[in-house]
Amino acid sequence: SQTIHQWPATLVQPVGSPLSLECTVEGTSNPNLYWYRQAAGRGLQLLFYSVGIGQISSEVPQNLSASRPQDRQFILSSKKLLLSDSGFYLCAWSETWTSYEQYFGPGTRLTVT
Amino acid sequence: KNQVEQSPQSLIILEGKNCTLQCNYTVSPFSNLRWYKQDTGRGPVSLTIMTFSENTKSNGRYTATLDADTKQSSLHITASQLSDSASYICVVSGYNTDKLIFGTGTRLQVFP
């Protein structure tokens, strides 16, 4: 069966510090991978998605970046965090293009102070 | 503009009671609509997925309906339990894309 992992579960970082969140998927090959952010009282916002190694599409301009160094690894990064980067970050995966279902990871709670 | 709106924003009910959550969308062309349950501090978990040709789908005590003509969906929870306390998110996908449009959710609290 497929599983998706995210870490860390919670993170408190000062403004201006770097960020690295990691997501890995097990039990599937060549998944579509997604990074979402959920701010308090807001719906999930798609940040990045990837259809393959090294292929990243950005949905919104921001100081975040994403990378996919391996087939089942997706990393969300920032060089300098802003207060507005605080939120709940979710990684998700789906099968290829025609899949109906996206499966979400447990999330990372980021607080920028 | 593709949007998904949910109501009510929050809801409190007593254990054992039924409730209905609403979702209106403007996504076009429409492909499918999903309802997710999200416990506090956890990732969303899928409850149901419906395509434009499906009017209703059940998953245990959860029953979702879809009216593709009026672009409305509802999620009915029967005989609520304390564990139903969560946010319920309506998500719509357009045709030929796997990008999802998320509603802001309904926060349900079930009290004993």
What is the least distance, in Å, from the CA of B33 to any CA of chain A? Answer: 9
Q: Is B4 on the interface with A (CB under 8 A)?
A: yes
3-state secondary structure chain A: CCEEEEECCEEEECCCCCEEEEEEEECCCCCEEEEEEECCCCCEEEEEEEEECCEEEECCCCCEEEEEEECCEEEEEECCCCHHHCEEEEEEEECCCCCCCCEECCCEEEEEC
What local confidence, expressed as pLDDT, does residue A111 receive?
96
Instruction: Output the average pLDDT for chain B.
Output: 93
Cβ within 8 Å, pair B32-A100? yes
User: pLDDT at position B41, please?
Assistant: 87
Q: Using one digit for the tens of pLDDT, what is the confidence trace for B61-110? A: 999 999 999 999 999 999 999 999 999 999 998 876 667 889 999 999 99
Alpha-carbon distance values, A52 to A71, A83, B15 (Å): 7, 31, 46
- Contacts with A, B 49-108, CB within 8 Å: 49, 89, 93, 98-100, 102-105
Provide CB contacts within 8 A for B70, sequence distance 6+: none
pLDDT at B112 over 90: yes
- Digit-by-digit pLDDT tens for chain A (113 residues) are 889 999 999 999 999 999 999 999 999 989 999 999 998 777 888 999 998 999 998 887 678 999 999 999 999 999 999 999 999 999 999 886 555 688 999 999 999 99
Q: How many CB atoms lie within 10 A of CB B26?
A: 13
Confidence class for position B28, pLDDT limits 50, 70, 90: confident
Average pLDDT over residues B14-35: 93
Name the DSSP letter for residue B15.
T
Q: Report the candidate in A37, A33, A42, A103 with the shortest Cα–Cα distance to residue B4.
A: A42
Q: What is the pLDDT of residue A98?
A: 54
Q: Pick the residue with more confidence: A63 or B12?
A: B12
Q: How far apart are CA B53 and CA B44, in angstroms?
A: 25
A10-13 and A108-112 beta bridge pairing:
parallel
Cis peptide before A8 (omega within 30 of 0): yes
Q: Which of A25, A30, A100, A101 to mutate to test the interface with B (most CBs of B within 10 A)?
A: A100
- High-pLDDT (> 70) share of chain B, %: 97
Return the percentage of chain B with pLDDT > 90, whole number: 78
Average pLDDT of the residues in B39-49: 92
Q: Tell me, what's the pLDDT at B73?
A: 97
* Alpha carbon distance A46, A57 (integer Å): 10
Closest C-alpha to B26, from B7, B6, B5, B3? B3
Report angle CA B73, B76, B80 to the nearest 5 degrees: 155
User: pLDDT: is A42 or B38 the higher one?
Assistant: B38
